[in-house]
Amino acid sequence: MSLLEIKNLHVEVEDKKILNGLTLTIEKGQVAAIMGPNGSGKSTLSYVLAGKDAYNITEGDILLDGESILELAPDERAAKGIFLAFQYPVEVPGVATMTFLRTALNAQRKLRGEAEYSTPDFLKLVRETSAKLGVSQEHLRRAVNVGFSGGEKKRNEILQMAILQPRLAILDETDSGLDIDALKTVSEGVNRLRSPERSMIVITHYQRLLNYIVPDVVHVMSKGRVVKTGGKELALELEAKGYAQYSDEAA
Amino acid sequence: MNAEVRAIKTPAEQALVSAYERTRAALPSSSAVADLRDEAFKRFDAKGLPHRRVEEWKYTDLRALMRDALPLAGAPDAASKAKAKDAGKIFASIVSRKLVFVDGAFVPELSDLSPEAGLTIGSMADALAKGDALVAAHVGKVFPTDDIAVALNTALMGDGAVIHVAAGTVLERPIHLVFASSDTPSSNFIRSLVVVEKGAQLTIAESHEQNTSQVHAALELVIGDEAQVDYFKATQTRGLHVASLILNAGANVKFNTFALNSDASLVRNQSFVRFSGEGSVGGLRGVNLLRSKEHVDTTMTIEHAAGHCASREQFKSVLDNESKSVFQGKIVVKPHAQKTDTKMMTRALLLSDEAEAYNKPELEIFADDVVCGHGATAGALDPGLKFYLMSRGIDDKQAEALLIQAFIGETVEEITHEGFRDALMNGALEWLETRG
């Protein structure tokens, strides 16, 4: 069975149609890139998968392990293994990063009926994971994302992903706002998490990120649906020719 | 048409007038105190309970809210004293000197009266009766106000603490005034006086665990030059609680006050603060956690009568259901109080569409070289923040609890005394846990 099946998904925001019959399947362990021009619905897809309200699903379904997740709240989806690395991670003043990580990890484990992490085990996990991603102890003590640079925020997203160990990670424009060094660090962090047990949806506007996170499959989105699917070479083709041909086709 | 127009008295006002007339002779009073009471009573009798047309009481109409006045408390019996042994639990984790009051009456046998150099402790009832010199010098004189709630307290003041900390004394332990209720609802008129002499240091806390009683409290706090005082107040009540803090700070003083109101049906915390010497720094802070139809009013007048002083006011309210918070902060800078530096901030977090927050900052500045700022906000929880937390597996209630904790944390974190900071934060967390 496929891990994720999106079937004929129609989504509106404030009566504006954003997704228009999107169909997409993600296999277990697969890394799928989703590319497309601005406004093609890539970020909407990521929010809808994570369960943000404000989106009105008018038709279609999203199946995880063959079961619909449309009725599940964001925390329940997280417990089932869905993780969204935000394009713009929000600042949460007053909530220390460590408290946040621990609350999230234990909340998920509790929902899954697993034992909570003990304090020493948790500290060890965070210390080891943060060291690999170059996230300092100082950042862990600070409030979530408050005063972090763009790159630090993205690294913090990958740190959360590494600690929460999702089965389906959605990386929404993780490359935006990163310089080349930060891009490498973040990509290495992501690549370390590749496994036959973990699927990833890598949403990006540019091919650059895909040099570092090499996808198994590339989907092109335009006007709220997938218009073309191919191998990793499709990304290079898009880089050379641009999105214009797909915009015309969908028009 | 010059005849004085007197409103018809409400049942509560009538009950208070008759309580005074009946008990006047029995109230603890030297002759000077009797005169002070009579004068204060006359003002109450003329004005009645404060109501919405009195500007300072606009949002807390005591005349309308107090349907009746309960009878004055009798002396506590053995059962209520036994119950009071467990009172004051919010500050139980702090090693302190406990002074216990039941229905406003001092209970020496439950109190820690062990001697300590530089510290004098007594009961206000005793001091009023015998014409104590400290009381004669300060009660009603610390920062005179024509506020009617203070006048009512002065007329009927029964008992409370009288604490004197001699010059240069640094007390070993905080003093914790524990105010407990018996099972019989009553009216309590609590009056306390705390005098901290030059260079002395005191940490003092008040906890009120109150049933449906009506508590009218006033604390006069005199802080001598170079002295340092931290004052904490935690109030829980199912009845009415009207408290006045009257504070006068000398030169080069450092003081901080912090008030937590949670599970508080109807509270008015008013402060009258005067900076009368140069170089002092004072902070007034507080957190209100309100639900159902609770109503908490924080009103203050901060008078900078001397220059080169700084004051910080920061209050946060979390409001659920149909609760209501009121904040009125008036800062007065006198003409010669140059280089005054004040910053007042009040924020309300509304968790329901029916909750109401009233914020009224007022600045009266008569000096030309000052920095005075104020700000007020009211808003709901940020749905973007909540989604972010939930997308990591944190459920709806826990996400809200984390964000509420963060909201009040900013103010609680300002408390430098670790024990009280933790105790007050734990008090707030308990409230969050019981949120339905």
pLDDT at B436: 66
B127-148 pLDDT per residue, tens: 999 999 999 999 999 999 999 9
Neighbour-count burial of B419, counting CB atoms closer than 10 A to its CB (0-12 exposed, 13-18 middle, 19+ buried):
middle
What residues have CB less than 8 Å from A112, skipping those under 6 apart?
A79
Enter the tokens of residue B386: 């909540």
Write the residue in B387, B393, B405 that is nearest to A52 by C-beta: B387
Could you say which residues from 20 to 79 on chain A have a Cβ atom under 8 Å away from some Cβ of chain B?
Answer: 50-54, 73-75, 77-79
| CB-based contact B391 A78, cutoff 8 Å | yes
Half-sphere exposure of B392 (CA within 13 A, CB side): 31
Mean pLDDT of B235-258: 98
| CB-based contact A93 B389, cutoff 8 Å | no
pLDDT value at B8 more than 90 = no
Enter the tokens of residue B397: 């209630």
Instruction: State pTM to two decimals.
Output: 0.90
Q: Which among B237, B248, B277, B213 has a CA at the least distance from the CA of B66?
A: B213
A24 vs A5: CA distance, rounded Å: 6
| CB-based contact A90 B384, cutoff 8 Å | yes
When pLDDT is cut at 50, 70 and 90, the band that residue A242 belongs to is confident
| CB-based contact A52 B405, cutoff 8 Å | no
pLDDT value at B266 more than 50 = yes
| Strand duo A16-26 + A31-35: pairing | unpaired
pLDDT at A245: 81
Please state, as a whole number, how many other Cβ atoms lie within 10 Å of the Cβ of residue A54: 9
What residues have CB less than 8 Å from A236, skipping those under 6 apart?
A207
B218-231 pLDDT per residue, tens: 999 999 999 999 99
Could you say which residues from 356 to 385 on chain B have a Cβ atom under 8 Å away from some Cβ of chain A?
Answer: 383-385
Q: What percent of chain A has pLDDT over 90?
A: 80
When pLDDT is cut at 50, 70 and 90, the band that residue B394 belongs to is very high
pLDDT at B2: 56
Strand partners, A171: A85, A202
B398 vs B395: CA distance, rounded Å: 5
Mean pLDDT of B341-367: 97
| CB-based contact A94 B409, cutoff 8 Å | yes
In chain B, where the domains are located:
11-277, 381-436
User: Phi and psi (nearest 5°) for A169?
Assistant: -105, 130
When pLDDT is cut at 50, 70 and 90, the band that residue A18 belongs to is very high
pLDDT at A248: 54
The string of DSSP letters for B405-423 reads HHHHHHHHTT---HHHHHH
Asked whether the beta carbons of B271 and B247 are under 8 A apart, the reply is: yes
b or e along B284-318 (b: 16 or more beta carbons within 10 Å of the residue's beta carbon)?
Answer: bbbbbbbbeebbbbbbbbbbbbbbbbbbbbbbbbb
Distances (CA, A) of B429 to A33, A75, B401, B426, B435: 44, 22, 8, 5, 10
| CB-based contact A94 B392, cutoff 8 Å | no
pLDDT at B56: 96
Enter the tokens of residue A75: 């925390």
Give B264 or A206, the one with higher predicted confidence: B264
Please state, as a whole number, how many other Cβ atoms lie within 10 Å of the Cβ of residue B279: 18
Give the closest-approach CA distance of B284 to chain A in angstroms.
Answer: 21
Sheet of A31-35: strands edge to edge? A82-85, A168-172, A199-204, A31-35, A217-222, A225-230
pLDDT at A71: 96
Asked whether the beta carbons of B178 and B56 are under 8 A apart, the reply is: no
pLDDT value at A249 more than 80 = no
pLDDT value at B5 more than 90 = no
User: Phi and psi (nearest 5°) for B191?
Assistant: -135, 125
When pLDDT is cut at 50, 70 and 90, the band that residue A251 belongs to is very low
Provide the strand spans (E) within A104-224: 143-144, 168-172, 199-204, 217-222
Mean pLDDT of B151-179: 97
Enter the tokens of residue B267: 């509270």
If you measure CA to CA, which chain A residue comes closest to B402? A95
Give the closest-approach CA distance of A21 to chain B in angstroms.
Answer: 25
In angstroms, how far is CA B25 from the centroid of its own chain?
29
pLDDT at A163: 97
When pLDDT is cut at 50, 70 and 90, the band that residue B408 belongs to is very high
The domains located in chain A, with CATH, are 4-250 (3.40.50.300)
A229 vs A227: CA distance, rounded Å: 7
A141-173 pLDDT per residue, tens: 999 999 999 889 999 999 999 999 999 999 999
Query: CB under 8 Å, gap of 24 or more: what pairs does A131-140 form?
Result: A132/A162, A132/A189, A132/A192, A133/A158, A133/A159, A133/A162, A133/A185, A133/A186, A133/A189, A134/A185, A135/A159, A139/A97, A140/A96, A140/A97, A140/A98, A140/A101
When pLDDT is cut at 50, 70 and 90, the band that residue A205 belongs to is confident
Percentage helix, strand, coil, to 5, in chain A? 40, 30, 30
A81 interface with B at CB cutoff 8 Å: no
Percentage helix, strand, coil, to 5, in chain B? 25, 40, 35
Mean pLDDT of B347-375: 96
Write the residue in A79, A94, A95 that is nearest to B393 by C-beta: A79
| CB-based contact B393 A75, cutoff 8 Å | yes
| CB-based contact A92 B395, cutoff 8 Å | no
Enter the tokens of residue B11: 């049942």
Give the closest-approach CA distance of A95 to chain B in angstroms.
Answer: 6
| Strand duo B97-102 + A67-68: pairing | unpaired
In angstroms, how far is CA B388 from the centroid of its own chain?
38
Enter the tokens of residue B286: 């507080």
Please state, as a whole number, how many other Cβ atoms lie within 10 Å of the Cβ of residue B115: 7
B86 vs B93: CA distance, rounded Å: 13
User: Phi and psi (nearest 5°) for B169?
Assistant: -80, 130
Distances (CA, A) of B161 to B123, B217, B245: 5, 11, 14
Mean pLDDT of A17-22: 96
Strand partners, A16: A13
Enter the tokens of residue A140: 């862990």
pLDDT at A134: 85
pLDDT value at B7 more than 90 = no
B170 vs B192: CA distance, rounded Å: 21
Averaged confidence pLDDT in chain B: 96
Q: What percent of chain B has pLDDT over 70?
A: 98
| CB-based contact A75 B410, cutoff 8 Å | no
B51-94 pLDDT per residue, tens: 999 999 999 999 999 999 999 999 999 999 999 999 999 999 99
Enter the tokens of residue B310: 């700084």
Asked whether the beta carbons of A83 and A161 are under 8 A apart, the reply is: yes
| Strand duo A217-222 + B214-223: pairing | unpaired
pLDDT at A45: 97
Mean pLDDT of B341-345: 97
Give B78 or A38, the one with higher predicted confidence: B78
Asked whether the beta carbons of B390 and B382 are under 8 A apart, the reply is: no
pLDDT at B4: 58
Mean pLDDT of B321-329: 98
Amino acid identity for residue B91 in this structure: F
pLDDT at B159: 98
A69-113 pLDDT per residue, tens: 999 999 999 999 999 999 999 999 888 999 999 999 999 999 999
Lowest mean pLDDT, pick from A171-180, B147-156, B205-214, B365-374: A171-180
pLDDT at A250: 43
pLDDT value at B356 more than 50 = yes
Neighbour-count burial of B183, counting CB atoms closer than 10 A to its CB (0-12 exposed, 13-18 middle, 19+ buried):
exposed
